[in-house]
């Protein structure tokens, strides 16, 4: 058919073609290129985590998210946003949920953790089409606000674009609007350069110089593109290799080398910086410890500054949660990004401690 069109054009004919995207590259002879990678943009040494935002409810996206968690769950930090709190609860609960997710995302990104922000998977609908549209707007605007409040510059941003709400037989699909809102409202971009594809059918932009994060790669991932492994493939290609240091590794190396590793409780940014500076001066590994009382006072910002200091140190540094007593606070400590934790059973009887070790 292309040959026929070319021959007709040579004779003065003009055509308006409604085709798939592949027709254009074939017609004008564009040579296929491999998907773009971080090294192609010179950011392969960038130490911040990447941000993945998912608001889509189409079945394909749900399968892609499940595959992403299956393949990348060992290094990916997951933050689920409650649609019920965003759309059905009070303004105070909505605000608390937005602030919680943004605060945690700042912590994880600063600690070089690729971070997945996703809406809860239960689809909440209204009684009418208008009510469902209102729910859709509240969720989309909340995602925009969450990203707007994230101050840490991500390594890359990956956004799935379709958000759907069902009301009786009506299905409302939100295509590129959320991606556009994230870019223009949350990231304050007025222009972007379309660089190449992160995967077939998945364009990669670089945000303009006027945006909050100039030059950051912005991957627009349509909810109806790719197979079930596509999202995982993109994230694996762009993810930052995990930090090599772990508290266990530090202690095993010390045992082999016959030396001690200092573990220091810190209560603020100045304390963390002092420990790291001393460790670098002595060319020695060290452990930053946070006690539950210090965590209660310093909160997420204290953990964030310790994890960030450890990440940027020139010697192996890890962050340890010291003297955790309850299962809830120990689980929360792991979620916050601590490298290790100490379970304090001193308040329990010898029998209960032994039983705990057995189980």
The structural domains of the chain, ordered by start, are: 39-237 (3.40.980.20), 247-357 (3.20.20.70)
The residues, any chain, with a CB within 8 Å of residue 4's CB and separated by 6 or more, are none
Cα–Cα distance, 201 to 139 (Å, whole number): 26
Instruction: Note the pLDDT of residue 167.
Output: 35
- Tens-digit pLDDT profile for residues 277-331: 999 999 999 999 999 999 999 988 898 889 888 888 889 999 999 998 888 888 8
Burial of 31 (0-12, 13-18, 19+ CB in 10 A): exposed
Sole residue written with tokens 């759907």: 164
The tokens of 241 are what? 């290799």
CA dist., res. 294 & res. 159, Å (int): 36
- Distance between start and end Cα atoms, the chain: 70
pLDDT at 166: 39
CA separation for the pair 260, 67 (Å, rounded): 42
Say if CB 288 and CB 318 are below 8 A apart.
yes
What number of helices (H) and strands (E) belong to the chain?
13, 13
Confidence band for 113, pLDDT divided at 50, 70 and 90:
confident
Banded pLDDT at 170 (limits 50, 70, 90): very low
Would you state the pLDDT for residue 161?
Answer: 54
Residue 199's DSSP bridge partners are 202
The pLDDT value given to residue 277: 95
């Amino acid at each position: 058919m292309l040959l026929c069109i070319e021959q007709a054009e040579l004779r003065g004919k003009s055509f308006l073609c409604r085709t798939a995207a592949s027709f254009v590259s074939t017609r004008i002879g564009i040579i296929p290129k491999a998907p773009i990678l971080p090294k192609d943009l010179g950011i392969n040494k960038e130490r911040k985590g990447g941000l993945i935002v998912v608001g889509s409810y189409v079945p394909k996206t749900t399968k892609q998210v499940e595959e992403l968690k299956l393949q990348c769950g060992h290094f990916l930090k997951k933050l689920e946003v409650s649609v019920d709190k965003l759309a059905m609860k009070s303004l105070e609960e909505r605000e608390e949920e937005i602030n919680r997710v943004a605060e945690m995302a700042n912590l994880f990104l600063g600690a070089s953790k690729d971070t997945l922000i996703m809406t809860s998977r239960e689809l909440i609908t209204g009684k009418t089409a208008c009510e469902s549209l209102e729910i859709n707007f509240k969720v989309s605007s909340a995602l925009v606000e969450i990203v707007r409040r994230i101050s840490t510059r991500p390594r890359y941003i990956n956004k799935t674009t379709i958000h759907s709400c069902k009301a009786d037989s009506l299905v409302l699909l939100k295509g590129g609007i959320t991606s556009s809102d994230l870019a223009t409202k949350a990231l304050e971009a007025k222009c972007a350069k379309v660089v190449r594809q992160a995967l077939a059918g998945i364009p990669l932009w670089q945000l303009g110089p006027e945006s909050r994060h100039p030059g950051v790669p912005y991957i627009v991932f349509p909810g109806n593109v790719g197979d079930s492994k596509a999202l995982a493939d993109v994230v694996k290609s762009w993810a930052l290799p995990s930090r090599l240091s772990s508290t266990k590794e530090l202690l095993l190396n010390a045992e082999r080398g016959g030396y001690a590793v200092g573990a220091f409780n810190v209560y603020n940014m100045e304390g963390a910086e002092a420990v790291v500076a001393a460790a670098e001066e002595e060319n020695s590994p060290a452990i930053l410890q946070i006690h539950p009382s210090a965590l209660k006072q310093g909160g997420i910002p204290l953990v964030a500054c310790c994890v960030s200091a450890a990440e940027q140190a020139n010697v192996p540094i890890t962050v340890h949660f010291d003297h955790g007593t309850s299962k809830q606070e120990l689980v929360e400590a792991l979620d916050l990004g601590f490298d290790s934790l100490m379970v304090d059973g001193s308040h329990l009887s010898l029998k209960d401690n032994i039983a705990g070790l057995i189980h």
